[in-house]
């Protein structure tokens, strides 16, 4: 009887000891590292950037037999600083007529004037000096370069639609992605008002 009690005591003792001993967490249960979280944020931002079609206007194109395709060497760098605009027919730009696009789709002209797609890369000629708050104001409030007191962002940039579609977390992810891509030096020309065309 004493042997059985001793055995039960030993079993209970080691069971209790095992229950109190901290177990190493399995990789699935471990909190992701800061680096892993940043990688996830950038990957989500890349997905959202592609889903929103940002490259359609912000990446110069190469013409192919199937039409224009993004020039991956100039990814999201905006209208080329040395780009040339074709002759603009002002009569076609009156309200109710046409909106015209540059052959590379990185510039548009209409009743508002001539606008160029911005350089979204983290170069100082692009978004290299932007804070997240600048980006948020641009995307949610339509502030050019995210600056208070400046002009509004003009067509064809659909910031109003993006404001409706993207949460603050989405914008944080997109900004993280844009800050992670290759910086490309490209000083996009300034906006030209309709009266100056």
Mean pLDDT, residues 58-79 taken together: 94
The answer, yes or no, to whether residue 30 has pLDDT greater than 50, is yes
State the DSSP string of 140-186.
HH-BGGG-TTSPBP-TT--HHHHHHH--HHHHHHHHHHHHHSPP---
The answer, yes or no, to whether residue 186 has pLDDT greater than 90, is yes
Lowest mean pLDDT among 20-24, 140-144, 161-165: 20-24
Mean pLDDT, residues 168-183 taken together: 98
Q: Any long-range contacts for 31-39 (C-beta under 8 Å, 24+ apart)? A: 38/176
State the DSSP string of 29-69.
TSPPPHHHHHHHHHHHHHHHHHHTTHHHHHS-EEEETTEEE
pLDDT value at residue 2: 53
pLDDT value at residue 5: 45
Q: Which two tokens stand for residue 91?
A: 């009569």
Percentage of residues in the chain having pLDDT higher than 90: 72
Task: Please give the Cα distance from 167 to 196 (Å, whole number).
Answer: 37
pLDDT-based confidence at 10, cuts 50/70/90?
very low
pLDDT value at residue 26: 53
C-beta of residue 162 within 8 angstroms of C-beta of residue 102: no
Percentage of residues in the chain having pLDDT higher than 70: 85
pLDDT value at residue 100: 92
Q: Return the SS3 of 126.
A: coil
The answer, yes or no, to whether residue 54 has pLDDT greater than 80, is yes
Q: What's the mean per-residue pLDDT of the chain?
A: 88
Model confidence, pTM: 0.81
DSSP 127: T
The residue that leads in pLDDT, 106 or 103, is: 106
What does the buried/exposed string (b/e) look like for 50-70 if buried means 16 or more CB atoms within 10 Å of the residue's CB? eebebbebbbbbeeeeeeeeb
Task: Please give the Cα distance from 155 to 157 (Å, whole number).
Answer: 5
The answer, yes or no, to whether residue 67 has pLDDT greater than 70, is yes
Q: Quick count: other Cβ atoms within 10 Å of Cβ 104?
A: 20
């Amino acid at each position: 009887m004493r042997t059985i009690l001793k055995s039960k005591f030993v079993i209970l003792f080691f069971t209790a000891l095992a229950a109190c001993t901290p177990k190493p967490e399995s990789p699935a249960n471990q909190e992701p590292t800061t680096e892993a979280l940043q990688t996830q944020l950038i990957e989500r931002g890349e997905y959202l950037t592609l889903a929103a079609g940002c490259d359609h206007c912000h990446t110069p194109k190469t013409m192919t037999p199937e039409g224009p395709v993004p020039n991956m060497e100039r990814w999201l760098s905006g209208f080329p600083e040395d780009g040339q605009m074709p002759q603009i027919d002002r009569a076609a730009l009156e309200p109710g007529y046409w909106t015209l696009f540059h052959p590379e789709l990185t510039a548009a002209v209409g009743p508002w004037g001539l606008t160029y797609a911005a350089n979204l890369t983290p170069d100082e000629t692009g978004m290299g000096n932007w804070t997240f708050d600048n980006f948020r104001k641009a995307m949610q409030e339509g502030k050019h370069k995210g600056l208070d007191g400046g002009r509004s962002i003009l067509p064809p940039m659909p910031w109003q639609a993006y404001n409706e579609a993207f949460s603050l977390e989405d914008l944080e992810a997109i900004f993280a992605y844009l800050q992670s891509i290759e910086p490309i030096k490209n000083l996009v020309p300034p906006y030209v008002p309709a009266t100056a065309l």
